[in-house]
Structure 1
Amino acid sequence: MNRRHALGALACAVTLPRLTTPLPAAAQSAETQPASSAAQALTEAWGLWKGSYLADDGRVVDELQEGASHSESQSYGLLLAATLRDEAAFDLIDSWTLRNLGIRDDRLLAWRWLPDVMPHVPDLNNASDGDLFYAWALIRGAEAFDRPQLKERAAAMARDLAASCVLESDGAARRLVFVPAADGFARESGNVINPSYYMPRAMEDIAEATGISAFAAAARDGMSIMSELSVQGLMPDWITLGPEGFFPDPELPDRNGYDAMRVPLFLIWSGLGNHPAVRRQAEALGMAAAAQVPTPVVMNRMTYAVQETSENPGYAALGGLVSCVASGLNGAAMPRFAADQPYYPATLHMFAMIAQIEASPSCVPI
């Protein structure tokens, strides 16, 4: 698995629901016994997550990616800390990130830190999803810890992110697209996009908190893009958007894989569980389950053929949530959190638990 291969190789009208307040560390946010149990399980999982993936200095470590830390992993950790109201962990992660990745001339973050090379940051390019989630985490942290200065930092970061990565597409549609980085993804034929870099809830909340309306517009256009892609099949990890439509990029894999699996999760978390991208993913997962195939992690976009599977419970939890939301039934087949899985599925597991509590209360894990 190399979810960040593309950045390294290249050197480089929907109304969204409002954000709920961050979850308390205890289960006091729950109104029913099942919700209380889910919140308690999340609190326990957070302790395990910190013990396994968060170093003492605040670095979130992705061992499968050369022991690297990314703006994505740091932003994901910061968001978890804000959501679980863990101010000590929040400040630890934030401090390390600013010292080691906040080294660009703007307010954005360098995308990767490597422990065994010098300099540790060989490429100053950013990753727009890492910046997006970091700004969102700062906004959540401002509310959770009553620190308005964090919102000011989020606004400064969001301004630079909009200036660098929210672009107007060519063609008759003239849509705002959220490109993966400031550099490296423009083609003569159009812009390469990664649908999983769109997080509608984060984009809408940033727009509301900062007044930068481009994020809300890009979120709406992104949902339209995903609806069109869903006509073709499953969400792609990468796709090029040009004046004449969508087409695969010859330098990037055309598949539904480790990136694209986040799309239905982020849609569900945003209250958009009825989006066709969620239904498509659930259909493919259902076909695999009927054939007794283990949890798919890479699939053919058009045929749903399973190309890679995984036993990591985080991927199963994500699939269980997607299937539950698409079915409209109560109860999701989400396994308990385990810390003996790699950073990425463990973090998606945490996100699936939060999305269930915040946006899909009927899909309580069973």
Structure 2
Amino acid sequence: MMAMFRTGLLLLALMLGMAQAAAADGWSSFKLRFMTSDGRIQDTGNQNVSHTEGQGYAMLMAVYYDDRSSFDKLWRWTQNNLSNPKNGLFYWKYNPAARDPVSDKNNAADGDVLIAWALLQAGEKWQVAGWLQQSDRIQRAIVAHNVIVFGGRTLMLPGAEGFNKTSYVVLNPSYFVFPAWRDFARRSHLKLWDKLIKDGLDLLTEMRFGDTALPLDWVAMNVDGSLAPATAWPARFSYDAIRIPLYLHWYDAASLRLVPFQRFWMGFPRLQTPAWIDVLTNEKAPYNMAGGLLAVRDLTLDDAGYLNDSPGASEDYYSSSLQLLAWLAFKSR
């Protein structure tokens, strides 16, 4: 009897160990494929360049998977290579093959938000006051350089330079990282973050274009508050805008603003869902969703049985990131 009991305990321990190993596989695989030894995330679908977006995503993942060592590397590399001392933000792109890897000195607002959010989460989880203070400083810089009042709305511009055209502004609604803004509001008690959330949610309600009533990757907002497709980009709900329902769900899984996405995707069999659609012409991608795109679809439709944190070996950096982020959003509910 005692031998059977010990055998049962050993089997239980083995099963628990296997479960823990499986849980870590997604992040371990992500690091192995996309993270250099010094903490740089490589965009394998884009000539192995790096972005603040990717650094922020990975820092969030490291916090979730309780991997402080990787977080340290990611943050150290980001500080050493992307910090802009002139405005407290970060250069948005790093090209290791270029003579000047950060030749474009602009920032990307979502990358800055993701980095600040990860620092906030890490500082609270591991009780590191310095990370909390760094997050606070980045938040203040974001407000100073990327947040404006325009057309009666409080908005976050995609970058500090080039998006305010005076008579109109260019917006990327996939940069509206609502769950991060909510945490910033909790941390700072600044009403501005609550205003940014409210106006961002209201804008998404109005960003309903064409028969699908979907938002676009890039949107122009005129001084009178009217909205139109931004002319420099295709009028598509595509690889940028796929993150809109991801962040909406992460913020509020029951949000009615998810309905247009749900209606559109429910019109297709899961594995025959087009990867993008031009909302003005109804032209659809000649290929279907896969990997991380499907993960966001599954999250939005509450098809939880398909969700996991183990991207396929053929998925590139962005697809793998979306899959892991959809998992984090699902587990945060």
* TM-score class, shorter: 0.7 to 0.9
Alignment of 1:160-171 (within 5 A): 160-170=141-151
Where structure 1 has 5 or more consecutive residues not aligned to the other structure, the ranges are 1-36, 325-329, 360-366
Q: Deviations over 1:237-259 (max 9, x none)?
A: 01011114001222122110001
Report what 2:6 is aligned to: none
RMSD (CA atoms): 2.2
Contact kept in structure 1, 2:176 and 2:200, CA below 8 Å:
yes
The partner residue of 1:113 within 82, 94, 97 is: 94
Give 2:326's match in structure 1, choosing from 352, 359, 364.
Answer: 352
Cα distance in structure 2, aligned partners of 1:344 and 1:272: 23
Residue equivalent to 1:269: 250
The residue number in structure 2 matching 1:70 is: 51
Correspondence 1:140 to 2:121: yes
Task: Please report the TM-score for the alignment, with normalisation by the length of structure 1.
Answer: 0.80
C-alpha distance after superposition, 1:284-313 (max 9, x if no partner): 112122xx7634221122575522434632
Aligned pair count reads: 313
Residue pairs, 1:1-366, within 5 angstroms: 42-170=23-151, 174-230=152-208, 233-242=213-222, 243-276=224-257, 278-289=258-269, 294-301=272-279, 305-310=283-288, 312-324=290-302, 331-334=304-307, 336-359=310-333
Equivalents in 2 of 1:310, 1:67: separation in Å? 24
Paired AA for residue 282 in structure 1: Q
Does the CA contact (< 8 Å) of 2:147 and 2:154 recur in 1?
yes
2:92 touches 2:107 (CA, 8 Å); kept in 1? yes
Please say which of residues 158-167 and 292-301 is displaced more in the overlay.
292-301
What is the deviation of 1:84?
Answer: 1.6
Using the TM superposition, give the Cα deviation of residue 143 of structure 1 relative to its aligned residue in structure 2, in angstroms.
1.3
Structure 1 counterpart SS, 2:276: strand
CA deviations on 1:76-98 (whole Å, 9 max, x unpaired) are: 11111112221000000001010
Residue identity in the other structure for 1:274: S
Return 299-308 or 110-119, whichever deviates more: 299-308
Distance verdict in 2 for CA 1:150–1:337, change over 3 Å: same
Contact (CA 8 Å) 2:237, 2:277: kept in 1 or not?
yes
SS for the counterpart of 2:301 is: helix
Q: Describe the shift of the 1:352–1:244 C-alpha distance in structure 2 as closer, same or farther (beyond 3 A).
A: closer
Secondary structure of residue in 2 paired with 1:176: strand
* Same amino acid, percent of matched pairs: 27
Aligned equivalents of 1:176, 1:38: Cα separation in 2: 45
- Check whether the contact 2:209–2:279 (CA below 8 A) recurs between aligned residues: no
What is the rounded CA distance, in whole Å, between the counterparts of 1:223 and 1:39 in structure 2? Answer: 37
Partner of 1:363: none
TM-score w.r.t. the length of structure 2 is 0.88
**Cα distance in 1 for residues equivalent to 2:56 and 2:252:** 21
Cα offset, 1:214, TM superposition: 1.7
SS of corresponding position for 1:297? coil
SS of the equivalent of 1:168 reads strand
